[in-house]
Amino acid sequence: MRLLDQLDLEPRPLIRAALSTAALGALVALGSRGGRWLDPALLGYLLATLFACFGVSYRYWSWLERPATDMYFQDTLRRFLSPRVLLTLPKLMLLALDQIFLQRFIEKRSVKRWGAHALIAWGCLLGFSVTIPLVFGWVRFTSAGLDPNRYEAWLFGFPAGSFPLGSPVAFITFHILDLAAFMVIAGCTLAFIRRLHDEGDAATQRFDLDLLPLLVLIAVSVTGLLLTVSEKWLGGRNFTTIAFMHELTVIVMLLSLPFGKLFHIVQRPAQLGVTLYKADGEAEGRLPCKGCGALFIRANQRRDLEVLFKRLDLDGARHSPSVHHLDLCPKCKRRLMALAQNQRLGGSFDPFHDVPIYAEPVADPTTFRS
Amino acid sequence: MVGDDFGFYIDPQRCIGCRACVGACAECGTHKGRPMIHLDEIDRLVSTQTTPTVCMHCEDPICAQVCPSDAIKRSEDGVVHSSQKPRCIGCQNCELSCPFGVPIVFSGLEQMMKCDLCYDRTSEGHKPMCATVCPSQALLFVPKHQISAMRQNQPLNEFTIGTLKVRTRTALMVPDPGLPLHLDAALLMVGGGF
Ligand code: SF4
Ligand code: SF4
């Protein structure tokens, strides 16, 4: 435990991360038929992926333990454990298409950002969807029997069809990673150009958080492409060195996954849960502000925020037993600041504040005052 | 980095409602085209008084504590930034919990933006947009040692809501800064003396 304290690691997420990694290890063992279908050339990648899984899941589990995250996680958990989930499923799929696959919210933030992000995101996903099954030994390609011109594909150690070497299928299979690399390089370059010209980003970006991940992704893609160049046009010259460089860059990327910006990939699906939560809240209705009467806060969020305030030791923010600070809309909170200043100044906003105002004999239709 | 020796001072009683700050704020590079400053009428039926609201840059920001995505960060210079774009999921916890009603969540963009002291400017030694254009100096960004000579009222950085204490980097000008400013919702109910 002293070591954990020194490293500032929490025991519960640590155990959960270890279990998650063990589960992934078991899936790898199962899918590769006890390791028999693992490619020895890819063992370095496998170890780095398992480490990344441990790091990412540790950070993910710790993140879920934050009281504010827990507020939404519990709601999502309740939703998935209830039979109602079947009714929500079509909506969830649609949301996932919009928010995770098409990422249209980024397009609304900025089209340039969306373009760059889409190339990087889809390039990476394409790359991972090919490499991960290969690294885990779930998919392998061998030459078909003694025929050097045919390739055989194996899925979980079972034959899954063969194709001739020069066929379009072979071309796509062996070059899909090149396509992914081009997408990532183009996306990262666009992102760099955008960051160079954007005064706002220039002021707030940090090299380690915002620029380094782009450089690492470019390094992975360029070394990957160089492998093809060496194989196709240089007769395999320097292939081993390039392969080593590629492995090194990929391992650096995998090891940095839990620490850097790319962690948002696993965080982002939370947006789906929040969107459904908001829809529930709209259906339940909004509550009025206790300062101005305008409807503003969704009933479910009002309840959950009060619980969250208690957990965060903020519950003292009550004006009276019946008025929590959460019951005031943002505008009334802003007005309150000026009103409190005014009170301190002895009403000096209004130099005539102590001249008595008498009610008009005829009610003034423009004022609420009697 | 924003110099530690500079302070932001707001003084709603000086506000004349000209909205110059709103126009200028929208020009800032970190939130292009969208004003982050709020300019509110206190009670239009009884007074022409308006009040500008910028982020108070709390020492222990409640907005960040209630954020499920850990998207709100306070840099070493005490500036609390807009949500980190890759993380914010637009849940509105921050918007509803900020003690001063500052953050704005843009639905559809799933992103919270707020006053960030015009970080592109202040980190390079310029004043925030609003404080540059405010004609009545209701918004003032000056070296801390200058403020006491400039005003009769003095900066106050501590606020209370019920029993909750909030300490801030941005200050409000009051005659008696030794006493925390109590924000009591009862002031809203009685018409606030305007
Ligand atoms: S004033 Fe509101 S938005 Fe600004 S730091 Fe404090 S809690 Fe966050
Ligand atoms: S809207 Fe964004 S920044 Fe605000 S609390 Fe939610 S996730 Fe955090």
Q: What is the pLDDT of residues A219-275, one digit of tens each?
A: 999 999 999 999 888 888 889 999 999 999 999 999 998 888 889 999 999 999 999
Structure tokens at A317: 């923010």
Calpha distance A363→A354 (Å, rounded): 22
Residue A178 — pLDDT band, cuts 50, 70, 90? very high
Ligand 2 atom closest to Cα of residue B111: 2
Residue B67 Cα, ligand 2 centroid: separation in angstroms? 5
Would you say residue A367 lies in a domain?
A: yes
Residue A169 — pLDDT band, cuts 50, 70, 90? confident
Each residue's pLDDT tens digit, A338-360: 999 998 988 766 656 566 655 55
Q: Which of A146-150, A317-321, B129-133 has the lowest mean pLDDT?
A: A146-150
Residue B193 — pLDDT band, cuts 50, 70, 90? very low
Would you say residue A129 lies in a domain?
A: no
What type of residue sits at position A208? D
| Contacts A367 to B, Cβ<8 Å | 45-46
Confirm or reject contact between A108 and chain B (CB < 8 A): yes
DSSP state of A327: G
Would you say residue A338 lies in a domain?
A: yes
* Phi, psi at A136, each rounded to 5°: -80, -5
Overall average pLDDT of the A216-221 stretch:
96
Are A333 and B101 in contact (CB < 8 Å)?
yes
Residue B113 Cα, ligand 2 centroid: separation in angstroms? 9
Element (H, E) at B84: none
The CATH architecture assigned to B6-193 reads 2-Layer Sandwich (3.30)
Each residue's pLDDT tens digit, B74-121: 999 999 999 999 999 999 999 999 999 999 999 888 999 999 999 999
Calpha distance B173→A276 (Å, rounded): 43
Best CA proximity match to A270, nearest among A122, A130, A77? A77
Confirm or reject contact between B143 and chain A (CB < 8 A): no
Each residue's pLDDT tens digit, A31-60: 999 999 999 999 999 999 999 999 999 999
Residue bearing the CA closest to ligand 2, atom 4: B94
User: Tokens 């078909």 label which residue?
Assistant: A144
Calpha distance A236→A226 (Å, rounded): 10
Would you say residue A13 lies in a domain?
A: no
The ranges assigned to domains in chain B are 6-193
| A326-361 core/surface letters (b: 16 or more CB in 10 A; e: else) | bbbbbbbbbbbbbbbbbbbbeeebeeeeeeeeeeee
Would you say residue A348 lies in a domain?
A: yes
Are B49 and A349 in contact (CB < 8 Å)?
yes
Each residue's pLDDT tens digit, B37-70: 999 999 888 788 899 999 999 999 999 999 999 9
Q: Is B105 in the pocket of ligand 1 (CB under 6 A)?
A: no
What type of residue sits at position B169? R
Chain B (55-114) residues lying within 8 Å, Cβ to Cβ, of chain A: 62, 65-70, 81, 85-87, 89-93, 95-102, 108-111
Calpha distance B112→B81 (Å, rounded): 10
Calpha distance B54→B35 (Å, rounded): 11
Task: Tell me what the pLDDT averaged over chain B comes to.
Answer: 93
Are B90 and A350 in contact (CB < 8 Å)?
no
Each residue's pLDDT tens digit, A280-289: 999 999 999 9
Element (H, E) at A158: strand A158-164
Residue B134 Cα, ligand 2 centroid: separation in angstroms? 30
Are B53 and A350 in contact (CB < 8 Å)?
no
What type of residue sits at position B97? S
Best CA proximity match to B81, nearest among B61, B52, B95? B61
Half-sphere exposure of A322 (CA within 13 A, CB side): 4
Contacts of B145 by beta carbon, 8 Å cutoff, 6+ apart: B5
Ligand 2 atom closest to Cα of residue B91: 6
Residue bearing the CA closest to ligand 1, atom 6: B58
Contacts of A180 by beta carbon, 8 Å cutoff, 6+ apart: A123, A124, A126, A127, A130, A221
B6-10 and B164-174 beta bridge pairing:
parallel
pLDDT of residue B194: 36
pLDDT of residue A370: 43
Calpha distance B138→B16 (Å, rounded): 8
Tally of domains within chain A = 1
Helix (H), strand (E), coil (C) string for B112-152: EECCCCCHHHHCCCCCCHHHHHCCCCCEEEEEHHHHHHHCC
Would you say residue A79 lies in a domain?
A: no
Would you say residue A354 lies in a domain?
A: yes
Please tell me whether residue A285 adopts helix, strand or coil conformation. Answer: coil
Residue A226 Cα, ligand 2 centroid: separation in angstroms? 42
Percent share of chain B, pLDDT over 90: 80
State the residue range of the domain holding A338: 285-370
Calpha distance B8→B129 (Å, rounded): 12
Structure tokens at B102: 């500052």
Would you say residue A301 lies in a domain?
A: yes
Calpha distance B157→A161 (Å, rounded): 72
Tell which of B161, B173, B181 to mutate to test the A interface (max A CBs under 10 Å).
B161
Answer for the pair A369, B46: CB distance below 8 angstroms, yes or no.
yes
Residue bearing the CA closest to ligand 2, atom 5: B67
pLDDT of residue A352: 60
